[in-house]
Amino acid sequence: MSEVSRREFIKVTTGIVGGIIGAVIGLPTVYYLIDPALREGAKEAWIPIGKLEHMEIGKPYPFSFTRVQVNGWERTSTSHGGFVTRNSEAPDDLFILNSKCTHLACTVNWSDNDQVYLCPCHDAKFGRQGEVLDGPPPRPLDRFDEFRVTEDGTLEIFYKEG
Site for other proteins in 30-49 (CB under 8 A): 31-33, 35-36, 38
Opening angle at CA 62, ends 142 and 137, nearest 5: 35
Give the separation between CA 54 and CA 78, rounded to whole angstroms. 26
3-state DSSP assignment of residue 154 = strand
Interface positions, 56-85, toward other proteins (CB under 8 A): 72-74
Considering only 23-31, 117-125, 138-146, 152-160, which stretch makes contact with other proteins by CB under 8 A?
23-31
Of the pair 38, 90, the CB lying nearest other proteins is at: 38
**Could you say whether residue 138 binds other proteins (CB under 8 A)?**
no
* Residue among 25 and 90 whose Cβ is closer to other proteins: 25
What type of residue sits at position 42? Answer: A
Ordered strands of the 125-126 beta sheet: 109-111, 116-118, 125-126, 132-134
- Give me the residues that bind other proteins (CB under 8 A), please: 25, 28-29, 31-33, 35-36, 38, 72-74
